[in-house]
């Protein structure tokens, strides 16, 4: 039986489909689009992927993304080291930095506790956070998402931090229940920072 199966095309479609939010239809459309792209564009595309992957790593202090030794926020000596804002994702830092009210430092967990997805505390950057709790740190703001996972994570970390004698707060009203920080507008984020409450 003749086979019309093109292995390299199938492999490309599989690669595309492994991306978040990409189903088989979109994967096929993208793969065919790439086949029609000029050689030069394809090379630039591949280089962008490998460059980003090679050069960007976690900041050894706060686990934010960086292409240098430390991330830009950890390098900035003007930031207030007495307040740490704990977020799930590096994209949340971009959102909070837009507000410009927060002058403290951050810590990125890289996810939230989610037993359904098999994500436990040990997969998050919690040990790295605990190591940062020195006498200089007066407050830790839990700025995880207003989802079940985000709330669970905030409570879990608050329980670990309180015995260390640090004030733990949670973002207040503003970010809607089920809401992700990344999609909240500036006013909402500003409000939730101002109305943060004790955990």
Site mask, Zn ion, residues 167-186, x = CB under 5 A? Answer: --------------------
Provide the total of helices (H) and of strands (E) in the chain, helices listed first: 8, 7
Of 25-33, 63-71, 90-98, 142-150, the window that binds Zn ion (rule: CB under 5 A) is: 63-71
* 84 is a contact residue toward Zn ion (CB under 5 A): no
Considering the complex, state which of residue 125 and residue 138 has its C-beta at the smaller distance from Zn ion: 125
Of 23-31, 35-43, 46-54, 66-74, the window that binds Zn ion (rule: CB under 5 A) is: 66-74
Residue 105 structure tokens: 């430092």
* 71 is a contact residue toward Zn ion (CB under 5 A): yes
Find the DSSP H helices in the chain. Answer: 7-17, 24-36, 39-55, 72-75, 90-99, 126-131, 148-161, 186-194
For the chain, the helix, strand and coil percentages under 3-state DSSP, each to the nearest 5: 50, 15, 35
Which residue shows structure tokens 């089920």?
Answer: 178
Closest CB 148 distance from Zn ion, rounded Å:
28
Closest CB 71 distance from Zn ion, rounded Å:
3
Considering the complex, state which of residue 22 and residue 70 has its C-beta at the smaller distance from Zn ion: 70
**Looking at 74, 86, 175, 189, which residue binds Zn ion (CB under 5 A)?**
74
Of 9-17, 69-77, 85-93, 178-186, the window that binds Zn ion (rule: CB under 5 A) is: 69-77
Query: Hey, is 117 helix, strand or coil?
Result: helix
* 64 is a contact residue toward Zn ion (CB under 5 A): yes
Q: Kindly list the distances between the CA atom of residue 106 and the CA atoms of 19, 28, 40, 100, in Å, as whole numbers in the listed order.
A: 28, 40, 39, 13
> Which residues of the chain form contacts with Zn ion (CB under 5 A)?
59, 61-62, 64, 71, 74
């Amino acid at each position: 039986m003749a086979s019309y199966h093109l292995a390299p095309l199938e492999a490309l479609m599989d690669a595309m489909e492994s991306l978040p939010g990409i189903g088989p239809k979109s994967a096929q459309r993208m793969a065919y689009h790439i086949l029609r792209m000029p050689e030069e564009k394809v090379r630039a595309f591949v280089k962008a992927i490998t460059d980003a992957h090679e050069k960007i790593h976690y900041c050894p202090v706060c686990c934010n993304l960086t292409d240098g030794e430390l991330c830009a926020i950890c390098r900035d000596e003007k930031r207030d080291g007495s307040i740490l804002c704990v977020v799930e994702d590096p994209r949340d830092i971009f959102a909070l930095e837009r507000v410009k009210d927060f002058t403290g430092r951050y810590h990125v967990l890289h996810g939230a506790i989610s037993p359904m997805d098999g994500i436990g505390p040990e997969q998050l950057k919690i040990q790295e956070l605990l190591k940062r709790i020195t006498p200089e740190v007066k407050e830790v703001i839990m700025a995880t998402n207003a989802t079940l996972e985000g709330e669970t994570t905030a409570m879990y970390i608050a329980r670990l931090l309180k015995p260390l004698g640090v004030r733990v707060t949670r973002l207040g009203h503003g970010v809607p229940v089920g809401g992700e920080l990344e999609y909240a507008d500036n006013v909402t984020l500003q409000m939730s920072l101002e109305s943060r409450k004790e955990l």
